[in-house]
Every structure is written in C-alpha cells, then in structure tokens.
Amino acid sequence: MLNKNPAWRYVLVISMLLLALVYALPNLYPEDPALNISATRGGTVAEQTRLQLEQGFRAANIVAKSVVLEEGQILARFNSTEDQLQAREIANQQLGANFITALNLAPATPGWLTAIGATPMNLGLDLRGGVHFLLAVDMKAALDKNLNDMVQTFRADLREDKIRYRNVQADIGRGQVQITFRSAEDLAAAEAALKQRDRELVFTTGSDNQTLLVSLSENRLKEIREYALEQNITIIRNRVNEIGVAEPLVQRQGADRIVVQLPGVQDTAQAKEILGATASLEFRLVDTDGDLAAALEGRVPPNSELYYSRDGRPVLLEKRIMLTGDHITGASSGYDEYSRPQVNIKLDAKGGSLLSASTKDTIGRRMASVFIEYKPGTEIGADGNPVLIKQQEVINDATIQARLGRDFVITGINSPAEAQNLATLLRAGALIAPIQIIEERTIGPSLGKENIELGITAIQWGMVVVLLFMAVYYKAFGMVANIALVANLVLLVGVMSLIPGATLTLPGMAGIVLTVGMAVDANVLIFERIREELLEGRSVQQAIHHGYDRAFATIADSNITTLLVALVLFGIGTGPVKGFAVTLAIGILTSIFTAVVGTRLLVNLIWGGRRVQSLPI
C-alpha cells in the first residue's frame, strides 16, 4: 500500500497556514508613539482642528509621521517619544480645555492588513504598562439609603392617607422599616394603603399587632443593586473618557465589582482622584429679569450667578438652590404620547415636598439643571496631587409647566440620544453607592517593555532547544515535527491576533513556551508508534498508517483533559492568568492540528508515495 493524500487536503492546510501567517503579520510591525485627540462632551473634532495641529507641529519643528482624522478623533504619529511628548504640549496649548489629548502607542500596521481586519495581539497591562483597578460598589450604602428614603416616603404617604401612626423608623441591621401604631385597625389600614402604592413591599406584623415591619422584595433589592452598579459603571466610563486614555476598559465583574484598566497611565494618584471624584446636581431658577449682557461684562446681579451651558451659551441663574441631586432616586429616558423624547425623574419624599413647595409660585418660569463635577486640573497642589477644579455646567433648562412633585418629566429635548445622555448625567449627580478601590496593579512602562523582551527571549530559546533536540533525536522525521512546531507558533499567534478577546500577558508568554515544549508530545507519540510498528515487522507504509491512527486516540484523550483544565483556569483566573489559560487552550488546539494533520501530510508527501525500505526516524 501507499500513503497518499488528495490534493485538496494540501490546499486546505496550506491555505489555513497562509491565512494564519497573514493575520500574525501585524505583530511584526513596531508601534509608533502617537497622540490621540478627541473632543470633550459637546465638542467635535473637525478637519480644521487637524490642519491647525499640523501647522503647530511644523512651527515647532516636530516631524509628524501622519496626522489623520478618523471616527471623530485625530491620530498623530511620531518617530520618537520625545516628539510625542513635545507634540502633546503643543496640542494642549493650541486646543485648550475642550479637547483631550492622550498618549498612545499606535500599531504601524500597513493599510492592506488593516483593511482585512488584521491587527496585532492585544497586550495585557503587564506587557504594555498601565493601571488596573478593581473597584467594589458599596451595596450596603445603597440599600441603607433606600431604607431611609422608604421611611420618608411612608411618613408622607400615611399622612396623606390620614392614617395615624406612632413612629416610623429604619432598622438598618435587619434591612427593614418599622412602623408602630396605636391600634391594630390603623395597622391594617396602613398595610392596605402602602400595599396599593407599592406592590414590591413585603409586610410582616409584629407579635403585639401594633408593629408593622416592611421590607423590600428580593426582586426590588436586586434591582437596587443592579442600578447602583450600572450607575457607577456609567459614571466611571464617562470620567475615564475624560482622563484621555487611549483604550480604556471599564467592565462589570460579578455582582458588585468593576474592573477599570487604563493602559499607559502612570500617575495613579491622578487616576484615583478622577475615579473617586464626586459629581452633584442642582436645580435652580433661571434669572430672566437680570441683564445677561451686563453680567457678561462682570456686573452680575447680587442674587444671581453666571453659568454656561454645554454649548457655551451663558445663562443667569438664581443663587437659591431649589433642590439638590441627592434627592433623585431615578432618572430614565423615554417618550411622551407624541413619541417625543423626554426624561422621567423620580425624587424621594423629602425632595418631592421641597420641589412641590418651590414650584408652587414659579409656574411658567424656567428651571435649569446644573451639573457639578470636580476634576483634577493642570495645577499641582501642596500634597503633590493635582488641584481639583470645580466644573459647573447647565445641562438643561426647561419651563415649569405645573407644580412639580415626586415624579416629573423634562420635555422639549431634541433627540432620544440627548434624553439618554441627560438621564445619565442626572443619575450621575445622585450617586447612591460609593465605590472603593480593593485592588490596584500598576506596571511601569520600563517593566512592561522588559517583560516583553524576556518573554520573546524565552520563546526563542525554548524553540531553539526543542528544535535541536527533535532534529538530533528523530532525524528527518524530527525536521518534519520541527516544521509543524514553527507552523504551530504561527497559527497560535495568528489565532490570538484574530480573536478580539484574547490578550497576551507575561504568564501567557510562559504558556507559549510551555506549549512549545508540550506540542512535540503528539509527534513523539506518533513517531514512537511508527518505530514500534516497524520493530514488529510491518512494512514502512503500514507503519506510517498505523502509527498515526493508533496514536490519535491517545492524543485526543490526553489533550481533551488538558483543555478541561485550561477552561477551569479561564473560569477562575483574572487578568494575566486568564491570558495564560487562553494561550494554553489555543496552543493545545493548534498543536493537535499541526502535529497530527500537518505532519501526516508532510510525511505522506515525502515517504508515502514511493516504495521505501526504511525510514529516517
């Protein structure tokens, strides 16, 4: 018999390898030091901005490799980090506070590769440098605040329904509200009334028949937790975008955790200030009597203050604050009956009565929402950290149509997107659950670079050692295995580059080294099997055929269990370890392919088609 393979099988394997090679290529190109310029909220980056920057760079004798406007951002590439840093200063001077400049490393992938979606592998923070934060949302604070809100609401509701009660108080430890009555009748009436207002409440009556214990349903508690988490994620995402980080990651982890990764950021103190900065919200009346023109010249009326809206329009607002954002319990965007976008706002009981009182006599006037945020500025304070700057902007003003209460809507919003944005900001101003940093990992840029170099050296030497060993031990068959090993590395890198979620980390690089050592196992199994078959007196072609067939079951069994372990690792691991699990799993799959399918084709091509008496194995 002869061992031959149909031509299509060669075509298939070769085209797969070529494809992997093409997708692995971008990793060979170096990265350019670059600047990312984007606009802050409300602003836009235009072609004019780009030209202005180019001129600025030219005037300062900085050679930019390219300055392009893409997807509303400008990307400027430079030859050196010095140029990049200098260019950042110039960009900051020229563009001012409405733009964010971020230092970045832009892959210098040629256009034809980018066009087919070939990009380099994602590098983990341990390789590129940067900060990793794990934040915990203080859920207890969110639930406690909710409990206190419930107390206020119950008091107001019972008063409104004219049900007499002795006392309403929160029992924080048990997570319930206690209402005491003078009689069992009052209690029954209260239970009925409160139940009608909110179906998510759970009632239990105390043994004395005069105490009503109210808690929230599991469903509602879950909702509150989810809301607190989502709210924090939205706020952090907004803030991170403003720090000027090229590719930030803000991701939920589990029930109450948030992962924030800021590649390239070194100044953790600043990053922490920004993450921890507080935002708040105020509602104020618009001062329509005051002279805006005079105020702009510096003569602001004594009872008013000058504010600016997001698009830079000046607004005079009364000094008196009608309501602060901490009374907001929810804000969501939606549509009115004519499907025009609107924002629905819910207040707590106290906020409702405050707003109701202050809008009693002001129907027809305009009410503005002011968003206040503290951000680190360029100035450095005595403690070495940037001084926080109070930033205030009017995010909306609308006419008060009626006396407002606990639920009200803001209409007259231009687009659904704007309504959504406004709702987000309103919620951000009423942060109900504080966050706490429970894990922080910062890798300096020099260590990141060193780690890459160490990893590459280890992979190179690991390869050399194994290639030499196989060539010496198995001779020509060893060379076949070596070709498979190199193909395996190409395939592994190609697949890693192709999968968007796969990230290369330092343990991941160790995983590649390990894969190199273990990938030859399949070939060792096959070759040993072929030797045995030859010893047992089979013909050369039969030995090859049986060697591959018999070894395959073993290879499959042993690798499936290893794959199982890689999955478990992926499940528990975070960051770098997850990267290890990913490389291990992909390495197992690619090595089976190259070592079993690939080498068989090659072996059959060389020895399978002719009558040979012995094998160089």
> By CB under 8 A, what part of segment 117-136 binds another protein?
126, 134, 136
The residue within the footprint of another protein, chosen from 295, 432, 510, 530 (CB under 8 A), is: 510
Does 434 sit near another protein (CB under 8 A)?
A: no
The residue within the footprint of another protein, chosen from 60, 438, 486, 499 (CB under 8 A), is: 438
Q: To which H or E segment does residue 550 belong?
A: helix 540-572
Site pattern 131..160 for another protein (x: CB under 8 A): ---x-x------------------------
Find the part of the chain contacting another protein (CB under 8 A) among 188-196, 278-286, 413-421, 574-582: 574-582
**Identity of the residue, 18 or 565, whose beta carbon is nearer to another protein in the bound complex:** 565
Angle between helices 445-498 and 506-535 (to 10 degrees): 50
Task: Return the residues of window 68-127 that contact another protein according to CB under 8 A.
Answer: 126
Q: What is d(CA 396, CA 400) in angstroms, rounded to the nearest whole number?
A: 12
Closest to 463 measured CA to CA, from 481, 446, 445: 481
The residue within the footprint of another protein, chosen from 469, 483, 539, 606 (CB under 8 A), is: 469
The residue within the footprint of another protein, chosen from 127, 194, 520, 602 (CB under 8 A), is: 520
Q: What is d(CA 200, CA 291) in angstroms, rounded to the nearest whole number?
A: 50
Does 380 sit near another protein (CB under 8 A)?
A: no
Secondary structure E strands in 413-510: 435-443, 503-504
Give the pairing type, strands 130-137 and 167-171.
unpaired
Site pattern 385..424 for another protein (x: CB under 8 A): ----------------------------------------
Does 43 sit near another protein (CB under 8 A)?
A: no
Find the part of the chain contacting another protein (CB under 8 A) among 43-51, 110-118, 279-287, 434-442: 434-442
The residue within the footprint of another protein, chosen from 2, 412, 457, 499 (CB under 8 A), is: 457
Q: What is d(CA 490, CA 21) in angstroms, rounded to the nearest whole number?
A: 6
Q: Could you tell me the CA-to-CA distances from 100 to 43, 204, 340 in Å, in that order? A: 11, 55, 33
The residue within the footprint of another protein, chosen from 572, 611, 613, 614 (CB under 8 A), is: 572
Does 435 sit near another protein (CB under 8 A)?
A: no
Q: What is d(CA 341, CA 335) in angstroms, rounded to the nearest whole number?
A: 4
Task: Return the residues of window 234-273 that contact another protein according to CB under 8 A.
Answer: 266, 268-269, 272
Q: What is d(CA 351, CA 432) in angstroms, rounded to the nearest whole number?
A: 15
Site pattern 578..617 for another protein (x: CB under 8 A): --xx--x-----------xx--------------------
Q: Give bridge partners of residue 493 from the DSSP assignment.
A: none
Task: Return the residues of window 267-326 that contact another protein according to CB under 8 A.
Answer: 268-269, 272
Q: How many DSSP H helices and E strands does the chain contain?
A: 17, 22
* Count of residues engaged in binding another protein, rule: CB under 8 A: 81
Residue 546 CA, distance from chain mean position: 51
Q: What is d(CA 588, CA 582) in angstroms, rounded to the nearest whole number?
A: 10
